[in-house]
């Protein structure tokens, strides 16, 4: 009976996996999104309205050299990786109250692609 | 088949048109200042967004200044660049007034030299290079204004953000036509 239940569960999981495959993040699409949506304020290698992004993945928040951060971001203990970047792009104010970015990316797939691009540009 | 806009035929550089836009833009923002003070529950957060927008406008003004003084732009493109810079100056002035109305301190503009370095202006060698940079910045600005709309506490300011985005899209469209780029094949190409 137990074996039968486990087998059914395994089949169900397999079926779910087949019908709803997990999409790998697309860094190339992330580059397009980064240039069109983030490029108004950010560059990889220059501090502009927002800080330079090369090397951001794995870096502590508020640590891009030479950028004038809000006190909220400067004093944050957040480290940028998948989960924190996803939360940041979903709603920056919810992650670090008092920040100054406020730009939101509505869809999870787009956020994942942008994060994949930033990760690649950070050599991670 | 997409046809480039004939700038002179459309008369978009007429002085009267500039005056009308200026008056309506200022009136819009002036009206929203009063509403913002009354309606926003967290003025400090909205001031933060407006200051980020101000940073964008300051950068755009410097970018158009660099383009206009580069010697790379020919008429009528040069006149268009100057007109668009005027729009960004009106945006800047309205944002500064609104930030002050909300009790905030407007961020200072970076120098043209700082912006030139950040945008790698030394790499611009032709009119097309300048137009491509302006096109990229205008699209980025439009998307930035769209992307911050959900973050405003005051819906009136969110509406202003949408109107600022519309100006940037207008700039992007004209620049794209000057570059003879095809128009987007699909709808909802901004903010996406």
Query: What are residue A79's DSSP bridge partners?
Result: A60
How does pLDDT run across B26-44, given as a tens digit for each residue?
444 555 444 444 455 678 8
Which residue in the set A35, A40, A102 is minimally distant from B151, CB to CB? A102
Contact B133, B67 (CB under 8 A): yes
Give the span between the Cα atoms of B110 and A17, in whole angstroms.
52
Report the alpha-carbon angle B167-B168-B174, nearest 5.
Answer: 95
Whether the per-residue pLDDT at A37 is higher than 90: the answer is yes
Residue A14 located in a structural domain = no
The values of phi and psi at residue A60, to 5°, are: -70, 145
Give domain status of residue A7, yes or no. no
Question: What is the band of A124 on the pLDDT scale with cuts at 50, 70, 90?
Answer: confident
In a domain, A84, yes or no: yes
What percent of chain B has pLDDT above 90? 76
Whether A11 is in a domain gets the answer no
Say what the pLDDT of residue A34 is. Answer: 96
Position B150 scores a pLDDT of: 93
Q: Cβ A104–B150 below 8 Å, yes or no?
A: yes
Q: With an 8 Å Cβ cutoff, are B48 and A36 in contact? A: no
Compute the nearest-CA separation of A14 from chain B (Å): 33
The answer to whether B141 faces chain A, any CB pair under 8 Å, is yes
Return the percentage of chain A with pLDDT > 70, whole number.
81
- Number of domains chain A is built from: 1
A8 found inside a domain: no
- Under the banding of pLDDT at 50, 70 and 90, the label for residue A23 is low
Q: Report residue A8's pLDDT band, with 50, 70 and 90 as the boundaries.
A: low
Mean pLDDT for all residues in chain A? 87
The structural domains of chain B, with segments of one domain joined by +, span: 44-178
Residue B144 has pLDDT above 70, yes or no: yes
Q: Domain of A72? A: 23-121
pLDDT at B135 over 50: yes
Q: Where are the beta strands (DSSP E) in chain A?
A: none
pLDDT exceeding 70 applies to what percent of chain B? 79
Winning range, highest mean pLDDT, from A9-23, A49-63, B26-40? A49-63
Average pLDDT, chain B: 84
For an interface test with B, the pick among A41, A89, A96 (most B C-beta atoms closer than 10 Å) comes out as: A41
CB contact under 8 A, A49 and B148: no
- What values do phi and psi take at A39, rounded to 5? -65, -15
Q: Hey, is A53 helix, strand or coil?
A: coil
Question: Can you tell me the distance from the alpha carbon of A55 to that of A100, in angstroms, rounded to the nearest whole number?
Answer: 20
The answer to whether residue A33 sits within a structural domain is: yes
Q: Which two tokens stand for residue A87?
A: 């939360």
B chain contacts of residue A40, beta-carbon cutoff 8 Å? 56, 137, 139-144
Q: Which of residues 159-188 of B touch A (CB under 8 A)?
A: none
CB contact under 8 A, A46 and B120: yes
pLDDT in the model for residue B4: 35
Superfamily of domain B44-178 in the CATH hierarchy:
Ferritin, core subunit, four-helix bundle (1.20.1260.10)
Tell me how long chain B is.
Answer: 192
ipTM of the complex: 0.76
pLDDT at A15: 44
Residue A11 pLDDT > 90, yes or no? no
- Tell me whether B88 touches chain A (CB under 8 Å): no
DSSP A106: -
Cβ pair A39:B56 closer than 8 A: no
Would you give the DSSP letter of residue A105? -
CATH number at residue A28: 1.10.760.10
What is the C-alpha separation between B174 and B10, in angstroms, rounded?
11
Give A57-84 as a DSSP string: TTPBTT-STT----HHHHT---B-SHHH
């Amino acid at each position: 009976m137990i074996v039968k239940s486990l087998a059914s569960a395994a089949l169900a999981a397999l079926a779910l996996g087949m019908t709803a495959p997990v999409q790998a993040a697309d860094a190339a699409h992330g580059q397009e999104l980064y240039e069109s949506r983030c490029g108004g304020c950010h560059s990889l290698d220059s501090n502009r309205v927002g800080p330079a992004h090369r090397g951001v993945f794995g870096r502590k928040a508020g640590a891009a050299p030479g950028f004038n951060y809000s006190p909220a971001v400067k004093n944050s203990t957040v480290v940028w990786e998948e989960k924190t970047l996803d939360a940041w792009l979903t709603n920056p104010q919810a992650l670090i109250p008092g920040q100054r970015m406020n730009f939101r990316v509505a869809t999870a797939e787009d956020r994942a692609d942008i994060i994949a691009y930033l990760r690649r540009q950070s050599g991670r | 088949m997409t046809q480039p806009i004939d700038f002179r035929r459309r008369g978009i550089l007429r002085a009267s048109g500039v005056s009308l836009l200026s008056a309506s833009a200022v009136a819009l923002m002036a009206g929203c200042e009063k509403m913002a003070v009354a309606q926003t529950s967290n003025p400090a957060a909205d001031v933060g967004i407006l200051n980020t927008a101000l940073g964008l406008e300051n950068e755009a003004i410097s970018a158009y200044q660099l383009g206009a003084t580069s010697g790379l732009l020919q008429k009528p493109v040069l006149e268009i660049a100057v007109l668009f810079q005027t729009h960004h100056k009106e945006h800047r002035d309205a944002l500064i007034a609104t930030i002050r109305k909300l009790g905030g301190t407007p961020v200072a503009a970076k120098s043209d030299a700082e912006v030139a370095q950040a945008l790698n202006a030394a790499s611009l060698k032709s009119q097309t290079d300048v137009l491509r940079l302006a096109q990229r910045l205008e699209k980025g600005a439009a998307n930035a204004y769209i992307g911050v709309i959900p973050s405003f506490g005051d819906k009136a300011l969110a509406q202003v953000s949408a109107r600022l985005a519309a100006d940037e899209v207008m700039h992007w469209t004209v620049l794209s036509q000057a570059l003879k780029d095809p128009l987007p094949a699909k709808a909802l190409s901004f903010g996406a």
